Structure 1
Amino acid sequence: MPVLRDFGGGAFGIYVHVPFCATRCGYCDFNTYTAGELGSSASTQSWLDGLRGELATAAEVFDGLPSATPQVSTVFVGGGTPSLLGGDGLASVLDAVRAHFTLADDAEVTTESNPESTSPEFFARIRAAGYTRVSLGMQSAAEHVLRVLDRTHTPGRAVAAAREARAAGFEHVNLDLIYGTPGERDADLDASLDAVLDAGVDHVSAYSLIVEDGTALARKVRKGELPAPDDDVLAARYERIDARLSAAGLTWYEVSNWAGSDAAACRHNLGYWDGGDWLGAGPGAHSHVGGVRWWNVKHPARYADRVARGGLPSAGWEALTEQERYTERVMLAVRLRTGLPLTDLDASGLRAAERVIADGLATRARNRLILTDRGRLLADGVVRDLLL
């Protein structure tokens, strides 16, 4: 565990990583494991025991900082497939957080879920336990697109799950889409958007397909079995998504995220993008406090063993330099609808901002640099220009 600096003074969140999946999706390079991959080396119980131990030790470390540990404003349980834990398992996760940290009265508590491992009873249980937000992996409403992605749920299940979550009392429900999958047609994307809007959710995330090294999808692309995503197609699909969602009253607040209101925006993710502090618990989870970042060992068996032996299961850490913190601030804030304060830029960045504005990729509003519609398509390039 590194020697921590003080808390940064902003929002404080807790991320819990659940590393279990029923099957491995072909495009996924997250730190996840199927039962067959783990064998007898780890279990959900050994993981939960490790989580409780890590949270207890982390709370002790934070209590030793010069400033008091702030209240937890957001909790996000991600994975992996947290819904594989079931309603009681996810309730136990939140109990473990509450046992060692104080949640704010208005804390946002989110869990990701695979539609196939949810039910009305599941949503009722986690809502009663204190979860306030659900994020469901839909990806597409087209069966052939789901097959390419190696997704196991049926096309209509994600929409049904979203309705079940809303019926259980969840005001904030998110559906995730992936666009640009080989074989996806405009009509397939339109059908997915129709389904999302029909579900009545107040938040949508849409990500272009990225072919990550080491995945089954990457191997198929390398062998020529599938074409690589086309950049022009991806740009056209993004514009199509934005037009449909905007017309339905969902406004972008981050390049890949749309919400029906300010309250519907994901506060936990905004904490990342705004440079807040967070504890990441679980195998492979990353943490950040006061400009110090550390990350846990990845394998669930090693994670549980390290915690059982005492101490935190960190695999490494780094204290960010001022230049690194500046770079991250620019990279993240540019992607937000609220934009990047021009006062955050150094002299070189300000000159670059003027060029970006002149090129029509951003505007200046309230002394902030805010991406235009075209600028959102080229957000990574804008960041590179600002940091040259």
Structure 2
Amino acid sequence: MKDRLGNHIQQVRGVSYKPSDLSENLSDGYTVLLRANNISEGRINFDSVQFVRNNKISQEQILKTNDILVCSSSGSISLVGKSALYKKSGEHTFGAFCKVVRATGKLHPQFIAFYMCSQAYRKHIEHIANGANINNLRNEHLDEIQLDIPTDDQQKVIISKLEKIQSIITHRRTQLSKLDELIKCRFMEQFGGPGIQSRYPTVTLGSISNMISGGTPSSKHPEYFGGNIPFVSTPCLGPNFIDASAAQNWLTELGVQMSSTHIVPANSLMVGNRVGVGKSSINTCEMCTNQDILSFVDINTDKFDLLFVKKVIEQYGPIFESQKRGATIKGVPSDLVKASQIPQVPIDVQRAFVGFVRQTDKFKFAYLLLSAYHRGTKCENHFVFFIPFVREKGFIFSPAAF
């Protein structure tokens, strides 16, 4: 049986406040304020929070266990709609660019939360939430979603299975992060890093490449979309290599011509400088990017291995993060990225290090296979679409369902 999601939820808008209503520390009369940056990969992190005066908060704006925190407004469409289940019982509230979805009907909040991490949900949001300057997720956008409504017992089975999968994925992510740390430590040991005296002379990234910026065609022109040119944004970045399967959308030649995006040639280095600051990937085919990505092209691969350069840029992540500026969307200027220092390491030494990276990737590949799962798992004749699928090196892993 299908039903409107709106018949099963209440939506609560976030707290509006002025800078003078905030404090840098938690003290009497203030409450921890969560914002969109605290939502990541379907989970809430409490690493970077603010504190807002209690007199700005209504009772319904205090988060309750099993509320779903949602980013409702952003200059980047890739952020609008991202969500996570709130599992704490402590007192937290949430900012004006967020909203809370609170289960009130027959649907379990965990069931709704899993749906809101799905590709089906993601495509729906990207289709409807476009605005002129800022993208907004209005109440009706969620209320009018039509869902198959499983029975209570069916929901419990689905939730149980997916929570087990989520636990496996969390464990695998921890293992993968340790492998990434191994690569970073090996790099620092051999070549130094930002703020550390390099064992080799350095050149800037800007001096060994040409830079191409990106842009987004207007969603008011459907003729700009549906072509054969892959279009990516920063959520696609991170893997060492990406291909057309990473695309979030596809542009026509007219869409490229009538916007500020550009076609980035294959074997270029893409670096996020706004949303997803510091994330990077090497594209293995021609594609276009949005305005949050800088692409560095024409790097002489006889002197600089692209994967080696990517690993250098990864070392700059904390520096980029500390230098983010902006009122609504924080980013770093292109000049800062171009100023990244690339060690002039002999190419055979670079390739030896890259060989180590590729060997480590084989271990990551094995871990990913173990934690991969279907984008859609059919449980008791109900299709449930959950948690973004895993990508690595442009591949999509989706072995048989559990």
Same fold (TM over 0.5): no
Instruction: Determine which structure has greater relative contact order: mean sequence separation of CA pairs < 8 Å that are 6+ residues apart, divided by chain length.
Output: 1
CA radius of gyration, larger in? 2
> What is the TM-score of this pair, normalised by structure 1?
0.25
The structure with more helix, counted as a fraction of residues: 1
